A = this chain, B = another copy of it.
């Protein structure tokens, strides 16, 4: 049992929990709680840690996986939550093939431009899976999907939704268009209401930053600007909410 916070494995866990750079360098991340750990594909599970209390109550719930025990104090130290469940795993990051993601008549793609809020990003992943989204492209300025808070709000969709952070953001959007996928920008100045367009063929949606919306040069890439009609004195919708309205309209039209 590891009982010291100066243990090397403990130090690595803390780095992976707290630092986006450490995660991207090691190509690993940490998931917490029995649900997320159980959903982790076995070939991506790099290490498993269980607190002493959890171990005494439930043992090791992941058959065939080696688990390391941490004292409750050390577990609380490495946990990102206030009331840790007592189980966490180190998971290997995988890379999806962008070229594959951005083709096909059935493509239903979200393209996120500098989305900053970790909770929003996680909720978008979860909702996207439910709405049948086929892939998510993120600009380098987006929040880190491997942030502990984001991981929690994906509710496991992180393992199932193809996604990629793309450095050549504008060029990739142009690629999407070349592949015959229509690119729509959710925009306050859109001419057509979102429900007046046909999304039954390959469609992609540009979603902008919470405070500033889409960058001009990104919005300019779109084939069509669409708006979500709003009543009252609301100036804009939360980014996850706007994405939801669009994704479920696609889903509705395709049923």
Contact = CB atoms under 8 A, between A and B. Distances in A.
Copies in the complex: 2
Contacts of A248: 228, 245, 248
Contacts of A195: 252, 255
B251 A229 contact: yes
Interface in A133-161: 153, 155-157, 160-161
Given A127-B238, A127-B241, A233 B119 contact: no
Given A195-B252, A251-B229, A129 B244 contact: no
A131 interface: yes
Pick the 4 closest A-B CB pairs, nearest first: A129-B232, A130-B234, A130-B230, A132-B231
Interface of A: 119, 123, 126-127, 129-132, 153, 155-157, 160-161, 193, 195, 228-235, 237-238, 240-241, 244-245, 248-249, 251-252, 255
